Structure 1
């Protein structure tokens, strides 16, 4: 269908001359006693607010403020700020809100860009700013002179200025008219439910257009705005505001929304409408919210500041989370038209192009920069009309339902904590401050998929300069969201084969240094000091968990360790939960250390009420989420059943085996949890009963025993009720042996877990169980988040993977004509100890891993058998490199894909960079990658694998079972299901050789014997 690109001019029901302050004044006349603002204990009615704004406007006019001017406002969030904003508008000027905590050098740069003649601030900020400074003289209680009349401004007049990032190294000042704000909040025609009953927090950063959304969605509709004095809204604060003031509507940046969902989703209870935006939304977080609050309205808002607050919105539905295309940005906002263009041509439905915006939301232009205004706001011929548009630089497409989908950026621009950042501006600032020959600022992805910050790589003017003190110098000049997390001195800036900056190579320099300051800039003193009392230790532990560190010294500077403002929010949210009292973010950002925060909490009295409940589901990793989703859609599927059998050389005491199972069950948290979609997709820690061994009738032979035990193990597991694993046993006639089998759902198990299970089961049976409980659920998720935070920018990395893997040809598999088997089967080849030793020697000589040697051999074999030289191989990667994780049962894996070209002749050296590249992306969610590839490879059959083969090198032989006088020999039954038609594994055997196992589905049965032989011969097999 043809997309509805926006609202027609004839639909506009408001007069063009209506102004923001005029609407507030009308509400004050109609409902004078209604509460407009709540600021602490102070309540201000609309009549009081309008009267105070008149008094402020009168005094500003006397100070020389008039129509056409821009007034910079540097006041903290509060009632005085709101009065001043309305006073500036009533004086006929436009306001520009600036952060009072910006470094003075940044403030001077921004003020120069604004061309502001007057700045409103308190006396302590006045010196040296440049403009004339006006200090508010308590306007809230002042009376305007009789007969005062506000300046006659209309919808086309300037209203406000937003300061954003520019590519030239200078900030950009975006001038927006009154009509751009007014268009959004008209009764019955808005994109959301904004009425006189709306009660909403005022918490957004002042320079951001999110503040405009929060303030005017309330004051233009007669609602109540509740001032938040903290740096930003926290879950505990929202909970108290719902309770104390009836807050029913909230706006959160996408990063802050994710924080709420992760740390305290119950804080949303009682909130009828939630709006989020500022960056691409995280589907798992959105899904978790909708599952927990299905009756709440959740709105995704998209819009550059050049189109004032929002250009498109979407009321998110559950189906948006399951499409694989990400959450749409929706349909055009009121009096806004959206165009997807290829140059000046309108794109067809489904065709990607640049998203351009027209309509009443457009800014008037960039202050002091007519060239940029003309370039970014051209007049185009669209639908036969000359139309002024804003070229966003964003890539988008319409779908068949007339809904917009955001696809990414056409340039380097990123969003950091809700702020639009041009890395080029940061680079120019750093080059100026540090006097380096060149700087490259590279965005770094956060665990939730957004950008956490920048890493700056600088070539010093003098060789050997390690840029000591660089971060301290930059913090004194740059805006907080411009300050890089690390400054790294490099000799040269590496380039790709195409001559572009190799950002992946630069970010690789940060490996092993996550969260550490650059050379010459150590954390604050205190690392060697006494860590302190229990409260200090608790704060330090939570800081370490959030920062992904083993420990944080109690005196170390949280920011210098890499902590962002959102990291601080996570710390305070978790402490609020653990301590049962509010922990303000401002305390941590002020004290900057665990000891300082603990000391402040000791002297800050806790409130008498408002304790926070703890507990709740632990979020899952991407692989676990995929297992849970597949279980929900096909609960009887056995693909995720991990099974094993031991043949024990004697009769087994079943009661002792049950006691051993209880020990294992109690020790490993992952085995006694329930895995559920609601209230959020997560693992719910619990104490579900341990499984009791299913004792089967005796079997006549070992082969029959293994088959019968395996059949019993393949009954469905109900992981949503905590049935994660089972045991079965059967005696074997003729010698007293016993077959013992286990099954564990893959959501709580991996290849490494086999050894841990065998060890602990044996210890429990022998009665020597001395190991304590493990806690792997939260640890698993925390490690995943920490590793994701250590990645280079995920979106560019993800796009690089998509570019590498798109259009990978399918392997031409062929079924075996003589079989009608429906399930998996396998063929096995054995490689001698001598041949395996030769492979290990080759790896050592070449400086490569054994995996790389085996991978090259497998690729050659696949190419030789299929006749295809280009294909993708899926490889699982263990995620257990952190201390302590080798001792737990759990799912600690992710998947990567290696594309092999010219595979027939590939060598170990040729395979090495392919393996390195894949492992560098091992913490990009494989589900995210597959979803993105589905978008760009639509010809592939839905529901079938994009790639046809897995390759797995197992580090250990299948573990034996030590039952004291009895020994269990491992026997590996065939898989119940496969994720690809071919899954080839390499296992070490007990003699030092290698066991090559090609598992296959019937679709590949016609070539597996030939493939197994080719692989065996490639690795040196003879005979």
Structure 2
């Protein structure tokens, strides 16, 4: 029997005419202005897409295209390709996407299998194929299609054709109906989170069913497809797409997924759903991903093209990494049934059998091959009903929870880089092209357990003949993924005792051949030439490392050396990281050598984005250097986490909040920079992705919501990779929402909170986008220009050291739970009337409100501690002009004000102390502390040189105005403090002030008294 849990019983009738193009047309009617496609700088709305497809469909119909035909499309990935696909469907035909750069011999074979009569391409590409050619006129030149009515197609009508490998030596053309694609992406019934907010790259190879997954999982739900022009998606391209377009969903073949995890796992930041498949997954790579992104959905997808994209899926959990047979392939996809059979007998739970698929995902059959269709798509009696199935040839078993486990193949078929390959097809093709009597193609394992390619062992027609130029000859005929890694001449094919081909013995011959010389009969490669050029040497070193060689000769063909397209991706990903600029995979695949790639990089100017912009890394301020040093020594420390929560008086649209975060991220370079210490401490302007809002389950009360949001925000931030901030949202019973943020202090200060609240609100409301705020480099240059006009720092530094060197310690009294522990706080308030009195006092004293508050704090500390002489550390904003008032960043330095006679200090007495400190604010605080440690006598171990900070945080409460709802700020406790006492004064939004005394356990016995004393010194006794 089969477990009920393993069946998907959500099958429902398809509405008449419910087709791929019909659904897209419906979205165009309902949401005409929604963006369907992004292609570089070009955006195409659903209305424009549908209108252009109508025009192309009419032109194709005029060209003689009829209902039920198959159209070969040989266009590069781009907007015009998508329009053409929809046009073919609107004309009632089915499309077959072919690689324009396939060898002509391969194209002729495929076209013959398709039975196509029409090709969409330029005439040169179709030369020799014997097809009627229709060349698109260009989207802007296409005539309007008034009065055109698309062909009404049903779910069973042909939609698309996938080309796959066949055991007969010829390709197979798998014809798939509309319903097979539509079933996967219906609202509420899909295997993944596909919604109008889905933004997904379109990067898969054109003939692959992965292209169908990428394109229609966006366009059938009203989402956005972001077209990638590179051969495939790279980590750099993903980072850029997340940053620029809000990409939140991605599909990668298992091999490409491994590359991303190995070379740049942080490129997944900002993506909420990742799907992978096409081959058995590598458990170490899956584990590494789940460890880094535990909240991101990682989906394993299984399915041969005969069941259209996926037959079973599984959201992977950590426990799946411990399963002996590997990561499970999961449960049936929508409107799909999976059977594990021994012949026609259903296997018991735990029993291995052939995995057979039934349901709406099944292909209609193989074009032009009724015999193969009947063999692989038999009708069986299952559960008392006649059921058409596809026999996959895969072995699987059910477990007791109704989950499918893949166990391997029943035949020789393998997957290489996501492509299904029948070694028999490669063998037959090789025997037709090369002068050989026999070829055996043996799959070669990769380090991750999958297959990296085939090795062709050939018996020459004449014994002893070399096979010079064999690979070059095969590349002229075979599809790129069919071309063997090596061609090895052998005298005979070794056999086992049972008469079968001995693949182990053949692979041993390969090891011997590679030890003696490279493939293709060449002599051993000469040692790499020392060009003396650093770029050549770097490219050569990276290529050699990827290929597992000691050296790579500069002029040697990368592919001929065994480099696959994924190897090229690894080379380019590492060069992108090392050079701080994008290195496209297409560049290496075009140049094909170390020397060629290095020359192309020298000739191609680096784009203005990334580390090269505005002169590279921007020097850090003294405060930022201190934050970076502490992070590098203790990455898990939360002391520099700036956190805040807004309690919003209604529901919040999380998708809109994500768009708002992306808007803020684009405006403020500090939030997306990487902060590194190589070779000098600096901020590297970069393209780190915008954060996606972490969604938390509902809370029963506002207090609980603030606590839960704050707990989520205190996870580590990796500022060296540009992960500098994070958002979280949590609904509260009763309809409110808690929205929280955390930003690392290296990219943030108190002033920035108001800017963050304003820009988040603007982005959420969707108003006109403001231009980018001043860059890191420009703000740094402005400060340096200002500092050049100030007195030299060294004499001031000597004066400060002399002033502060004998400052006494404050006699703090530990609380009853003293020891290591998180900070706590006490809060007092001062009314609007009390604040007005303080402002009047400031006017009478001829000083600022800050000076009045500082004098009151000094008196309170002196009264509570009995200490009349101490130092107070104060942050100073260094925003020099109106432009910097609009910037998020860490634009502060710290100064220390020594207060003698603190018990009786007045605002008039404090004013000169403040002026003297501000005059020296350009002196690096880290340098000052280092000098003082040398000059001061020994202090109490573990106690900082100064024991209290005093901060006045702006004049206006940062209210989050989201339009129909508003959020009031709430201050969660700090995760860490730089001094035992940190006292802050905040505006309360109603004209009054909040006094917050934050403290470590070492000062816990006096804080209540201190808070009351400070409030009393400010006249707050009512």
TM-score with structure 1 setting the length: 0.59
- Residue deviations 1:208-251 (CA, integer Å, cap 9, x gap): 00000000000000000000000000001100110000000000
Residue in structure 2 matched with residue 775 of structure 1 by the alignment: none
- Residue deviations 1:771-815 (CA, integer Å, cap 9, x gap): xxxxxxxxxxxxxxxxxxxxxxxxxxxxxxxxxxxxxxxxxxxxx
Structure 1, 319-328 or 580-589: larger mean CA deviation: 319-328
Q: 1:560-959 alignment to 2 at 5 Å?
A: 560-602=560-602, 603-609=604-610
Query: Counterpart of 2:510 in 1: which secondary structure?
Result: coil
Residues 111 and 130 in structure 1, CA contact (< 8 A), matched pair in contact too: no
Q: 1:524-535 alignment to 2 at 5 Å?
A: 529-535=529-535
Q: 1:455-534 alignment to 2 at 5 Å?
A: 455-514=455-514, 517-521=518-522, 529-534=529-534
Q: 1:192-203 alignment to 2 at 5 Å?
A: 192-203=192-203
Residue in structure 1 matched with residue 396 of structure 2 by the alignment: 396
CA distance in 1 between counterparts of 2:46 and 2:597 reads 39
- Residue deviations 1:127-172 (CA, integer Å, cap 9, x gap): 1122111111114552433210011211100000000000000000
Q: 1:44-443 alignment to 2 at 5 Å?
A: 44-139=44-139, 142-443=142-443
Query: Counterpart of 2:73 in 1: which secondary structure?
Result: strand
Residue in structure 2 matched with residue 783 of structure 1 by the alignment: none
CA distance 1:204–1:523, change in 2 (3 Å): farther
CA displacement at 1:448 relative to structure 2: 1.4
CA distance in 1 between counterparts of 2:473 and 2:218 reads 40
Query: Counterpart of 1:32 in 2: which secondary structure?
Result: coil
CA distance 1:10–1:475, change in 2 (3 Å): closer
Residues 399 and 405 in structure 2, CA contact (< 8 A), matched pair in contact too: yes
CA distance 1:199–1:276, change in 2 (3 Å): same
Structure 1, 69-78 or 527-536: larger mean CA deviation: 527-536
Residues 10 and 189 in structure 2, CA contact (< 8 A), matched pair in contact too: no
Query: Counterpart of 1:124 in 2: which secondary structure?
Result: coil
- Residue deviations 1:330-353 (CA, integer Å, cap 9, x gap): 000000000000000000000000
Residues 35 and 43 in structure 2, CA contact (< 8 A), matched pair in contact too: yes
CA distance 1:374–1:312, change in 2 (3 Å): same
Residues 444 and 454 in structure 2, CA contact (< 8 A), matched pair in contact too: yes
Query: Counterpart of 1:205 in 2: which secondary structure?
Result: coil
CA distance in 1 between counterparts of 2:453 and 2:193 reads 34
CA distance in 2 between counterparts of 1:286 and 1:484 reads 28
Residues 336 and 361 in structure 1, CA contact (< 8 A), matched pair in contact too: yes
CA distance in 2 between counterparts of 1:610 and 1:226 reads 25
- Residue deviations 1:268-290 (CA, integer Å, cap 9, x gap): 00000000000000111001000
Residues 576 and 582 in structure 1, CA contact (< 8 A), matched pair in contact too: yes
CA distance in 1 between counterparts of 2:156 and 2:7 reads 18
- Residue deviations 1:253-282 (CA, integer Å, cap 9, x gap): 000000000110000000000000000001
CA distance 1:609–1:70, change in 2 (3 Å): same
CA distance in 2 between counterparts of 1:433 and 1:84 reads 35
CA distance in 2 between counterparts of 1:459 and 1:299 reads 44
Query: Counterpart of 1:72 in 2: which secondary structure?
Result: strand
- Residue deviations 1:962-1016 (CA, integer Å, cap 9, x gap): xxxxxxxxxxxxxxxxxxxxxxxxxxxxxxxxxxxxxxxxxxxxxxxxxxxxxxx
CA displacement at 1:531 relative to structure 2: 3.0
CA distance in 1 between counterparts of 2:350 and 2:283 reads 21
CA distance in 2 between counterparts of 1:473 and 1:292 reads 45
Query: Counterpart of 1:509 in 2: which secondary structure?
Result: helix
For the pair shown, the structure with the greater C-alpha radius of gyration is 2
Structure 1, 533-542 or 316-325: larger mean CA deviation: 316-325
CA distance 1:128–1:610, change in 2 (3 Å): farther
Residue in structure 2 matched with residue 647 of structure 1 by the alignment: none
CA distance in 1 between counterparts of 2:554 and 2:366 reads 46
CA displacement at 1:3 relative to structure 2: 1.9
Residue in structure 1 matched with residue 539 of structure 2 by the alignment: 539
CA distance in 1 between counterparts of 2:126 and 2:348 reads 54
CA distance in 2 between counterparts of 1:122 and 1:527 reads 44
- Residue deviations 1:826-854 (CA, integer Å, cap 9, x gap): xxxxxxxxxxxxxxxxxxxxxxxxxxxxx
CA distance 1:64–1:330, change in 2 (3 Å): same
Query: Counterpart of 1:394 in 2: which secondary structure?
Result: strand
CA displacement at 1:529 relative to structure 2: 4.6
Query: Counterpart of 1:265 in 2: which secondary structure?
Result: helix
CA distance in 1 between counterparts of 2:514 and 2:154 reads 52
Residues 311 and 333 in structure 2, CA contact (< 8 A), matched pair in contact too: yes
CA distance in 1 between counterparts of 2:586 and 2:524 reads 20
CA distance in 1 between counterparts of 2:168 and 2:340 reads 26
CA distance 1:579–1:375, change in 2 (3 Å): same
TM-score with structure 2 setting the length: 0.59
CA displacement at 1:556 relative to structure 2: 1.1
CA distance in 2 between counterparts of 1:388 and 1:5 reads 21
CA distance in 1 between counterparts of 2:548 and 2:57 reads 51
CA distance in 1 between counterparts of 2:387 and 2:447 reads 41
CA displacement at 1:520 relative to structure 2: 3.1
CA displacement at 1:124 relative to structure 2: 3.0
Residues 320 and 326 in structure 2, CA contact (< 8 A), matched pair in contact too: yes
CA distance in 2 between counterparts of 1:179 and 1:318 reads 34
CA distance in 2 between counterparts of 1:411 and 1:336 reads 24
1:30 aligned onto 2:13: no
Residues 531 and 553 in structure 1, CA contact (< 8 A), matched pair in contact too: no
Gapped runs of 5+ residues in structure 1? 618-678, 685-1023
- Residue deviations 1:921-948 (CA, integer Å, cap 9, x gap): xxxxxxxxxxxxxxxxxxxxxxxxxxxx
CA distance 1:21–1:610, change in 2 (3 Å): farther
CA distance 1:382–1:40, change in 2 (3 Å): same
Query: Counterpart of 2:610 in 1: which secondary structure?
Result: coil
CA distance 1:300–1:267, change in 2 (3 Å): same
Residues 7 and 338 in structure 2, CA contact (< 8 A), matched pair in contact too: no
CA distance in 2 between counterparts of 1:604 and 1:481 reads 32
CA displacement at 1:532 relative to structure 2: 4.2
Query: Counterpart of 1:225 in 2: which secondary structure?
Result: strand
Residues 527 and 555 in structure 1, CA contact (< 8 A), matched pair in contact too: no
Query: Counterpart of 1:455 in 2: which secondary structure?
Result: strand
CA distance in 1 between counterparts of 2:524 and 2:240 reads 35
CA displacement at 1:523 relative to structure 2: 8.7
CA distance in 1 between counterparts of 2:316 and 2:606 reads 41
1:446 aligned onto 2:453: no
CA distance in 1 between counterparts of 2:313 and 2:25 reads 28
Query: Counterpart of 1:173 in 2: which secondary structure?
Result: strand
- Residue deviations 1:291-325 (CA, integer Å, cap 9, x gap): 00000000000000000000000000111112333
CA distance 1:519–1:94, change in 2 (3 Å): closer
Residues 65 and 93 in structure 2, CA contact (< 8 A), matched pair in contact too: yes
CA displacement at 1:178 relative to structure 2: 0.2
